[in-house]
Structure 1
Amino acid sequence: MPSPRYTNRRHAGVALAMALRDMPLEDPLILALPRGGVPVAKEISRALGAPLDVLLVRKIGAPGNEEYALGAIVDGPEPNWVVDERMLERFNPPPEWFEQQVLEQIRELERRRLLYRGAKAPARLRDRDLVVVDDGLATGSSVRAALKCLRAQHPHRVVLAVPVGPVETVQRLREEVDTLICLDTPSPFRAVGDHYRDFHQLSDQEVIDLLIK
């Protein structure tokens, strides 16, 4: 297996910023998917001189197989969620299990919103160029849920920027955005973390520190 391309998430953010720097953006807002997307997005925000905010999304993992996403839910005045019907059919959890997971993830989104934003209102999305950033793609279910939510806010343009992801996920998500930048689509693709030397699980405090600096 080749050595990881990125030293850490900050390194990946610098590389993405280089790819984005010549793109004409209208009133841009950088939106990070916590936790892992925040240090990546921070470097883009610095390089472009654009504000940074979080886009709160929670994956609904399959019972006993959390890495397989059955869907995802996005924070908002009315939480939105998407379901991967193919994966739902494959794992076939009982209906009450899925409903319980939705409720649990809504509670977690509320917790994170208070933790990361406090009383601060979310940034305006309408008529802006939104740059959605994560540390990588796997199934893409969380990002797809986020993009669905964003489209309902009537942005000027939506750009998805990620360091790495499988080619089939990238191709599927291109239809959901105006522009998609993915720096690396290795094949075979096993996991996002394989492409980082340091891919530690960020703490809530690390995310808060990045958002306030």
Structure 2
Amino acid sequence: MFGVGHFRSREDAGHQLCDHMPDIDPLSTVVVALPRGGVPVGAVIAERFRLPLDVLLIRKIGVPGHRELALGAVSDGEKQEITVNEDVAAALRLDSDDIRELAERELPELERRRQLFMRGRPPIPLNGKTVVLADDGVATGATMRSAIRIVRQRQPEHIILALPVAPRSTLAMLRPDVDEVVCLLQPEPFISVGSYFSDFGQVDNLEVVDLLRRCNRNNDNGGKGAA
């Protein structure tokens, strides 16, 4: 028996999220996950409800010397966008030029992941769709804020934010930007995302590629839902 308030794995978290999801129309819903850790979570949701799965190409901008502390995030949407954790930037006395320089260091990895994950295909259209935006959890919310903005650019009808765990304070910041939130654990004080999982091993790129292929093999109709 795993600890109270914990998940066995990302897959277990995905199954638990499925049990709390609102009614979903498979013909008008797309799951969009944040790589890499959000993809196993999103894949479970996609397979349970027979939905297509896509990824957003976003990289956390880590604080130099403390990569796990998010200074912000850089996205690879139609218009490249940098989202900044203003409190962290102010504490470290980093100006916009400093932040942009750190963001540019992440661009080669974003391009590498584009080639690996997308394999030349365009993103699944989100216009007029319900989007289930999934990750394995959030801490400061800097990366997720950027993700929500990218998804909004693609003009969905409805956004459901699906998370296993997040601090209440972060959810309060994100909630106005989405239409619904499904979050299973909202601890305060918050430790770290990984501390709420028994198994939080790194997700490798090949696993992401395999999950995308597996979830979408029956969804070759341009993201209109499962056959």
TM range (shorter): over 0.9
Contact 2:89–2:95, Cα closer than 8 Å, also in 1? no
CA distance in 2, matches of 1:202, 1:20: 24
Residue 122 in structure 1 maps to residue 126 in structure 2: no
Is the Cα contact below 8 Å between 2:37 and 2:202 reproduced in 1?
yes
1:37 matched residue in structure 2: 38
Query: Is this contact kept in 2: 1:3–1:195, CA < 8 A?
Result: no
State yes or no: 1:93 paired with 2:94: yes
Give the C-alpha shift of residue 126 in structure 1. 1.1
Cα contact 1:138–1:191 (8 A) shared by 2: yes
Mapped partners of 1:177, 1:94: distance in 2: 29
TM-score (norm. length: structure 1): 0.93
- The C-alpha deviation readout for 1:172-199, integer Å capped at 9, x for no partner, is 1101101111011122210111111110
Letter of the 2:33 counterpart: A
> 1:77 Cα deviation (Å)?
3.0
Q: Please give the alpha-carbon distance, in whole angstroms, between the structure 1 residues aligned to 2:4 and 2:183.
A: 19
Deviation at 1:65, TM superposition (A): 2.0
The answer as to 2:152 corresponding to 1:151 is yes
Equivalent residue number for residue 85 of structure 2? 84
Residue 122 of structure 1 aligns to a residue in which SS?
Answer: coil
What secondary structure does 2:212 align onto?
helix
Partner of 1:137: 138
Give runs of ≥4 in structure 1 deviating > 6 Å: none
Which amino acid in 2 is paired with 1:72?
A: A
Q: Which residue in 1 is equivalent to 2:164?
A: 163
- Please give the secondary structure, in 2, of the residue aligned with 1:148: helix
Normalization by structure 2: what TM-score? 0.88
Root-mean-square deviation (CA), in Å? 1.7
CA–CA distance in structure 2, aligned partners of residues 20 and 164 of structure 1? 15
SS in 1 for 2:105: helix
Q: Which runs of 5+ in 2 are unaligned?
A: 215-227
CA contact (8 A) 2:75 2:146 kept: yes
Sequence identity of aligned pairs in percent? 38
CA contact (8 A) 2:125 2:154 kept: no
Segments of structure 1 that go 5 or more residues without pairing to the other structure are none
How far does the alpha carbon of each residue in 1:21-50 deviate from its partner, in whole angstroms, 9 at most, with x for none? 535677100001000000000000011111
- SS of the residue corresponding to residue 200 of structure 1 reads coil
Is the CA contact 1:21–1:47 (under 8 Å) kept in the aligned structure 2?
A: no
Amino acid at match of 2:124: A
For 1:191 and 1:45, the matched residues in 2 are separated by 26
Q: Confirm or deny: 8 A CA contact 1:147 1:177 kept in the other structure.
A: yes
Matches within 5 A, 1:55-66: 55-66=56-67
Query: One-letter code of the match for 1:119?
Result: G
What is the CA deviation profile of residues 129-172 of structure 1, one whole-angstrom value per residue up to 9, with x for unaligned ones?
Answer: 11100001111100001111211221101110000111111111
> CA–CA distance in 1 between the matches of 2:95 and 2:130?
40
Report the equivalent of 1:206.
Answer: 207
Does the C-alpha gap of structure 1 residues 26 and 129 become closer, same or farther in structure 2, counting only changes over 3 Å?
Answer: farther
